[in-house]
Structure 1
């Protein structure tokens, strides 16, 4: 692909439109951008409608974001700022990555949703963690071997119960001048599944987020393929910060990265924002996903239901740990919980570190699905 500075000046609006869509979490490959400009060249273009049709055909916005795509097109090519007024009036779910693109924020326009006891208004704060010690060392040591496992496509040598490694066996026969040595065997390697932890840092969860972050640090230290995100009014990846071995330093780094401590909550939109970034949604594929949240959504919970359905399609096991379940009288009776209950493999007590560590260490063992356990929910 040609470098931007070597392209004609006339291509600037088209490249700018692709960058605009990417900044709003549309998944667009470089080949699609090249195809877009080639389509415009073939069409003339004779009118702005030709450019619009070329963009639709080559950039391929998902059907559920077609209206947002049209609004960005009118804003970029027509200068119609009013096209985005409705979206700008809503709160935004922002994505913050702590990796190589830690300074990049991908804004995803979503309708504000929240819990009956939670607020959807954004409030940016910082958090300081007290220096204390707990019993997470044993959890960290056991985690790597306790996680669910899967068979990898890679193979390793074995002396028994494997398949014949024909290529290497023939090589041994040739090197031994035709003698038939013991056949060489290989078997598919077994590797732990990914662990994805999503932590609610909204105001309704502020009494638990400190313990959850300590648990997440132990998980990242104990498992090679653990990923941790926080969500409230924004989505933040904090895995790199939690890879620091010293827990106090790791939590201090994470506290500096997360901007929306103890603020509002928009669980559905932030989970959809997570799924809208291909690199992030890949973390969920085949993973054991543990969401630490009270799952209180306010008003229409359609976005939360959609996000949970998409997570379920990618995950090996989808679990929700809510501190509300620590109350013996707890019932998943809210409209949001009733809607997502059939999609959950587990709905467990998230009010204590001890209970959460025991649960995560048991993820490899089969258990009845959440809907079967909470049958009393009408």
Structure 2
């Protein structure tokens, strides 16, 4: 590659601008200011080496760990990596041909990137307009809102993910209120408050004894969220953190932890009013984002350092993970048993449960399953609404967790 100053006619600057548009269509927050910064950065760093050019653009366009994969794929495709260009050509072939020729070692392109790189249909083509009209008529059988509610987070486009995040911002989690030890005056009945009753009788000189009553104060139990941010959970954890942000700003006593190979308390950052600012800070603080998973070690760390701080007053724990453990479930059963005994209710949310043929074959899943009260799927908006319905019911009225054959 040559120096950026030798490019004539502003062609290279235009290519950077088109590359920024591709990233924006794929969902990255890239504006005109970022484009200008990228052009200036390339002018300073030069483009003599492809690696220097890659990291120069990376430093400008990427500010969160969950954006790395999209940028990496977009860079190699846009700036002509032969392997990924071949992959893009394969995506244009019929599905049956792809299924018969796909290899396990082929990298899978993000749907957001493939849609961003797909050419727009020509507006003056009569044939394409007819096909578009047929497609619209076919989708009139269900509303866009209903389709979005049942669509898997992993298969959503950038536009659909934006709509889903807006829907999550309005969701609430009405956990059933429970009685506390604290009592207060109750004018509608309860148990007799002897102290207030005797004080009231002294005011009348003992001629009458007006009864005073008291009852237990009810309050929502604390909510503790343990969210898996490993590579296999990246797409789901990114969406669910938006949901947890809405909950944190809607109620008190919500504690959120992210774990992969280590445990990170992100409660303070989830209280930011701006969800984008919160996720930006979290991506910087969480060092093991999209890495491996050591569920047993992280649950042990939580039990040792955090359980007594956040699991008081009958807390409800949400464990969001696919159960795939790098340590093959070593010590996981013991730590899950301790966690289960320390909380009022332990609910496991696993996106793999959306498959009808799911079976607990991995050692991690087998170690977790006996120690949870509810085992639910969490892969779309409908599953989040079902979770809200379950938590709003008393524990005795909740449905039993799904059972599996031995």
The separation in 2 between residues aligned to 1:265 and 1:339, in whole angstroms, is 15
Task: State whether residues 295 and 329 of structure 2, in contact with CA within 8 Å, keep that contact through their aligned partners in structure 1.
Answer: no
Q: Are the structure 2 counterparts of residues 283 and 253 from structure 1 closer, same or farther at C-alpha, using a change threshold of 3 Å? A: same
The answer as to whether partners of 1:274 and 1:281 remain within 8 angstroms in 2 is no
Whether 1:272 aligns to 2:300 is yes
RMSD (CA atoms): 2.3
State the number of aligned residues. Answer: 246
How far apart, CA to CA, are the structure 2 residues paired with 1:355 and 1:126?
26
CA deviation digits over 1:292-335, x for unaligned, max 9? Answer: 11111245423111111111111211111111112222222223
2:168 corresponds in structure 1 to 136
> Quick one: distance in 1 between partners of 2:179 and 2:227?
29
Q: Deviations over 1:323-375 (max 9, x none)?
A: 111222222222322232221111111212431243144224333443xx223
Task: Return the alpha-carbon distance in structure 2 between the equivalents of residues 204 and 295 of structure 1.
Answer: 10
Partner residue, 2:71: none
Whether 2:205 is the aligned partner of 1:177: answer yes
- The TM-score, its normalising length taken from structure 1, stands at 0.60
Contact 1:126 1:259 in 2 (8 A): no
Answer whether contact 1:324 1:349 (CA < 8 A) is retained: yes
3-state DSSP of counterpart to 2:376:
strand
2:271 to 243, 252, 273: 243
Residues 99-118 of structure 1: pairs in structure 2 closer than 5 A: none
Matched position secondary structure for 2:333: helix
User: For the residues of structure 2 that align with 1:300 and 1:262, how far apart are their CA atoms?
Assistant: 18
Partner of 1:106: none
Which residue in the other structure is 1:284 paired with? Answer: 311
Q: 1:308 to 1:253 in 2, by over 3 A?
A: same
8 Å CA contact 2:169, 2:243 repeated in 1:
no
Higher relative contact order (CA closer than 8 Å, sequence separation 6+)? 1
Quickly say closer, same or farther: Cα 1:234–1:339, change in 2 above 3 A.
closer
Q: Which residue of 1 aligns with 2:58?
A: none
1:258 equivalent to 2:286? Answer: yes
| C-alpha spacing 1:360/1:196, structure 2 compared with 1 (3 Å) | farther
Q: In structure 1, what is the Cα distance between the partners aligned to 2:371 and 2:380? A: 24
Q: C-alpha distance in 2, partners of 1:335/1:159?
A: 55
1:153–1:353 CA distance, 2 compared to 1 (3 A): same
1:203 is matched with: 231
**Cα 1:362–1:326 shift into 2, 3 Å:** same
Residue in 2 aligned with 1:229?
257
Give the alignment partner of residue 358 of structure 1, picking from 364, 386, 392. 386
Displacement of 1:181: 5.5
Gapped runs of 5+ residues in structure 2?
1-63, 69-157
137 and 298 in structure 1: CA distance in 2 versus 1, 3 angstrom threshold: closer
C-alpha distance in 2 between matches for 1:233 and 1:302: 14
CA distance in 2, matches of 1:241, 1:357: 25
CA distance in 2 between counterparts of 1:241 and 1:299 reads: 29
Q: Which structure has the highest helix share of the two?
A: 2
CA contact (8 A) 1:284 1:311 kept: no
Could you tell me whether the CA contact under 8 Å between 2:296 and 2:332 is conserved in 1? yes
Deviates more, 1:317-326 or 1:242-251: 242-251
TM-score, with normalisation over the residues of structure 2? 0.56
Shift in CA distance, 337/233, structure 1 to aligned 2, threshold 3 Å: same
1:126 lines up with 2:158 in the alignment: no
Structure 1: segments with no counterpart, 5+ residues = 1-124
Match of 2:152 in 1: none
Deviation at 1:240, TM superposition (A): 1.2
More strand by share: 1
Deviations along 1:212-251, whole A, 9 cap, x unmatched? 1101111212221211000001111111111122222222
Residue in 1 aligned with 2:352?
A: 324
Q: Secondary structure at the match of 1:197?
A: strand
